[in-house]
Amino acid sequence: MTPRRSRVRTRLLRTARWLRTRAPRIWKGVRLVLLLVEGVVAPVKGEVALAITARALLVVGDTLVDAGRHGRS
């Protein structure tokens, strides 16, 4: 491997490690904000697209965080 490739690989591995350890904690706060947007802000503003987008982001985020958890199926 060239030095550049090894540096890129090292950075990717470091980022993946960071995401595994911190993403679930960060996701709790982001999830709360998205729930508030979907449940409160969107109905008050009458924005159906905003509610659908928030719901879609919740599904994608939950899927990503669950995929990072270790466990047997």
pLDDT tens digits, one per residue of 12-66? 777 777 666 777 778 888 899 999 999 998 889 899 999 999 999 999 988 887 8
Number of domains in the chain: 1
Kindly state whether residue 10 falls inside one of the protein's structural domains. Answer: no
Kindly state whether residue 61 falls inside one of the protein's structural domains. Answer: yes
Provide the residue range defining the domain that includes 73: 22-73
Kindly state whether residue 15 falls inside one of the protein's structural domains. Answer: no
Kindly state whether residue 65 falls inside one of the protein's structural domains. Answer: yes
Q: Note whether 34 and 68 are within 8 A (CB).
A: no
pLDDT reported for residue 15: 74
Kindly state whether residue 68 falls inside one of the protein's structural domains. Answer: yes
Kindly state whether residue 16 falls inside one of the protein's structural domains. Answer: no
Kindly state whether residue 45 falls inside one of the protein's structural domains. Answer: yes
Kindly state whether residue 51 falls inside one of the protein's structural domains. Answer: yes
